[in-house]
Amino acid sequence: MPQAKQPDDGDGVQIDLVSGARMDGLTSMEKIRLILDGVHDGNIVILEEGLSPDEESKLIEVTMAEISPDEFNGIEIETYPRSDTRDSSFLGRLVGGDSSNAKLTAIGPANQIETLHKDETLISALVSRN
């Protein structure tokens, strides 16, 4: 599977938009690894279709196991409430494909994302470079 090229300099925040098609072929642990490896690198990972509830539960467990003082404080994760997910999500239209189960999900390092506002239709977040 092709890997994203890493940026040369330390400025800016890398955002990985991961299509549902790319996640479809992965096992639960591979999905969690893809997310947490990206987050450990300081990236913001945006999933077109999100995770199943069971995968979300395991993501919390694995995240907890990887928290380390002064190194990794955990993750910030944002999705819309499930019932309000629309078929024609912005990212769904952007990357194409069937997004009928889409639950747009953004995940990043807890020390770099701060949620400013969240309701059923809007998530507003501040992303910083540490």
Partner 1 sequence: MGLLKGLKDSISRATDRLFSDEEPKRIGIYGPPNAGKTTLANRIARDWTGDAVGTESHIPHETRRARRKENVEIERNGKTVTIDIVDTPGVTTKVDYEEFTDEMEKDDAVRRSREATEGVAEAMHWLREDVDGVIYVLDSAEDPITQVNTMLIGIIESRDLPVLIFANKIDLDDSSIKRIEDAFPQHQTVPLSAKEGDNMDEVYDNIAEYFG
Does residue 121 belong to the site contacting partner 1 (CB under 8 A)?
no
Tokens of 26: 């992965």
Does residue 54 belong to the site contacting partner 1 (CB under 8 A)?
yes
Residue with tokens 């912005």: 90
Q: Roughly how many angstroms between the first and final C-alpha of the chain, as a whole number?
A: 30
Interface segment toward partner 1; rule CB under 8 A; list 6-14, 15-23, 93-101, 118-126: 118-126
Does residue 42 belong to the site contacting partner 1 (CB under 8 A)?
no
Does residue 60 belong to the site contacting partner 1 (CB under 8 A)?
yes
Distance from C-alpha of 99 to C-alpha of 91, rounded to nearest angstrom: 9
Does residue 63 belong to the site contacting partner 1 (CB under 8 A)?
yes
